[in-house]
Structure 1
Amino acid sequence: MDAHDGPLAGRVALVTGAGQGVGQGIALALAGAGVSVAALGRTAATLEETCRQLRERGVEAEAFVCDVAETDAVPGVVDAVAARFGRLDILVNNAWAGAHGPLLELSDRAFQKGFRTGPFAAFAFMKAAHPHLKATGDGSIINLVTSAMVRWDSSTYGAYAAAKVALKSLTRTAAVEWARDGIRVNAIAPHALSPGLQWWTETNPEEAAEFVASIPMGRLGDCEEDIGRAVVALVGPDLRYLTGATVPLDGGQAFFG
């Protein structure tokens, strides 16, 4: 069966941080399932390249330049996406920008940035998307968190993990409150060879080798094939009874309990 005749064909997804890395991989995988995509991010050039690749897969795609930290603008952006495509079925909160480092070396501003672009931004997008997702009767939200939340040694990851723990809690609450509205809300905690992780791997080869060795599957995930395709499954009908879950996509490294 052609993907464009599949169960997700004709649906519309909004993906933040879609210009590269995991966000782009998710967008491409969704397009492969026949989903049209609104690609959001801060850089027009990278978004347009993503949209070019999406259109090559036979779906509609539109770039929306947006800084997720500017939460006052989020309702207008979400409404513009829904107006452009005529509906909104899937929201993927992928974008995040924050700081890493020992707690005593982090400024208040650096610590707060991860919350502004993480749970605060996701909260704004989720609220703005709610009426559109409810209208479809089968809406789905995917929030991206991290295995750093349960890392055995969270040194230098404290700010990152704290913001993502808040987003994990938000995911669970929205799942419960919005289930009767026909909206499922889940989170994923991925490891993937994004451009940022590729740079880190090349810059810190010994540390990177130790990190990969700690993954039972012995490799980092592919942004589209491992992470994106998992998202396609999560928002599809086969997992229609799953909501409020945090799914690790990390080759078995993290133990969530």
Structure 2
Amino acid sequence: MDHLNDKVALITGSGQGVGQGIALAAAKAGAKIALVGRTASKLEDSRKLIEDLGGEAICLSANVKFGDDLKAAVDRTVEKFGGIDVLVNNAQEVPLGPLDKISDEAYLAGFESGPLATLRLMKLVHPIMKERGGGVIFNLISSAGIRWDMANYGAYGSVKQAIRPLTRAAASEWGGEGIRVLSIAPHAKSPSLNYWIENNPEEAEAFFRTIPLGRVGECEGDIGQAVVSLCAPEMGYLTGATIPLDGGQANFD
């Protein structure tokens, strides 16, 4: 796939895991990548992987909870590459645990890094994409928001569910400008999932038995390649939807 040739993708949380997988897949499809995250060393690792593929990337240290950091990242991307065609809102602090153990600080951090950062970045890239004749925005959500048993996932699920109406609203308001907006809900072999597996082995074993395809996705091969495919012109009539990239586990109907 090379339909992202000469396109620019800004991806938050791209120093590892799903964000890195999307960055690698987009680079292979020809995109120039703005790697955004808190840990400079991890971003440099992703940049090296991209450059080893013959691609081009810049590293932008930023905390997505801070509006000034996000504006600086967008401005630097435009300065370096001339615009932004693809935005991936991936970075997220995760408030997990029973409700009576979730602190106000952890819950607010979940909202600041999730729906608030998503809204801020969408607003920042909107005029840039409009001027370029369109673009694609991906907002990462989670099937944790629709679990039948919400014990220990209420805070995280509510944070992620808040992103879905933002996706729908942006798709509705900006569709006439050629901007498509999608929510994706992935399961992938990320560091955060590996940590959860190690600390919840019994729950993890039961969880994996509910995935019809019988496996957890690969960050690049399954999630990244799917995101790249969704950017293709052939997918140009798809917007405002929630796309589960989870082996058939979740039912968002």
TM-score for both structures, normalised by structure 1: 0.95
Q: Measure, in 1, the Cα distance between the counterparts of 2:27 and 2:215.
A: 25
Matched residue SS, 2:26: helix
State the Cα distance separating 1:166 from its structure 2 match: 1.0
* Residue in structure 1 matched with residue 161 of structure 2 by the alignment: 165
For 1:84, the aligned partner's letter is K
Q: Measure, in 2, the Cα distance between the counterparts of 1:148 and 1:199.
A: 16
Residues 67 and 120, structure 2, Cα contact 8 Å, conserved in 1: yes
State the Cα distance separating 1:202 from its structure 2 match: 3.1
State the Cα distance separating 1:206 from its structure 2 match: 2.7
Residues 178 and 184, structure 1, Cα contact 8 Å, conserved in 2: yes
* Residue in structure 2 matched with residue 11 of structure 1 by the alignment: 7
Q: Measure, in 1, the Cα distance between the counterparts of 2:197 and 2:151.
A: 19
2:71 paired with 1:75:
yes
The alignment's C-alpha RMSD in Å is: 1.1
- Unaligned regions of 5+ residues in structure 1, if any? none
Q: Measure, in 2, the Cα distance between the counterparts of 1:59 and 1:135.
A: 25
Q: Measure, in 1, the Cα distance between the counterparts of 2:132 and 2:231.
A: 13
* Residue in structure 2 matched with residue 186 of structure 1 by the alignment: 182
State the Cα distance separating 1:107 from its structure 2 match: 1.5
State the Cα distance separating 1:72 from its structure 2 match: 3.1
Matched residue SS, 1:164: helix
State the Cα distance separating 1:203 from its structure 2 match: 3.5
Alignment of 1:161-240 (within 5 A): 161-240=157-236
Q: Measure, in 1, the Cα distance between the counterparts of 2:224 and 2:30.
A: 13
What percentage of residue pairs aligned between the two structures are identical? 51
* Residue in structure 2 matched with residue 51 of structure 1 by the alignment: 47
For 1:95, the aligned partner's letter is A
Residues 18 and 40, structure 1, Cα contact 8 Å, conserved in 2: yes
* Residue in structure 2 matched with residue 99 of structure 1 by the alignment: 95
Number of equivalenced pairs: 253
* Residue in structure 2 matched with residue 129 of structure 1 by the alignment: 125
State the Cα distance separating 1:146 from its structure 2 match: 0.4
Residues 30 and 55, structure 2, Cα contact 8 Å, conserved in 1: yes
For 1:216, the aligned partner's letter is P
More divergent stretch after superposition (74-83 vs 29-38): 74-83
State the Cα distance separating 1:79 from its structure 2 match: 1.3
State the Cα distance separating 1:180 from its structure 2 match: 1.1
Residues 118 and 164, structure 1, Cα contact 8 Å, conserved in 2: yes
Q: Measure, in 2, the Cα distance between the counterparts of 1:60 and 1:105.
A: 44
Q: Measure, in 2, the Cα distance between the counterparts of 1:219 and 1:11.
A: 32
* Residue in structure 2 matched with residue 42 of structure 1 by the alignment: 38
TM-score for both structures, normalised by structure 2: 0.97
* Residue in structure 2 matched with residue 245 of structure 1 by the alignment: 241
State the Cα distance separating 1:197 from its structure 2 match: 1.2
Task: Specify whether residues 105 and 202 from structure 1 end up closer, same or farther in structure 2 by C-alpha distance, changes over 3 A only.
Answer: closer
Residues 175 and 184, structure 1, Cα contact 8 Å, conserved in 2: yes
State the Cα distance separating 1:56 from its structure 2 match: 1.5
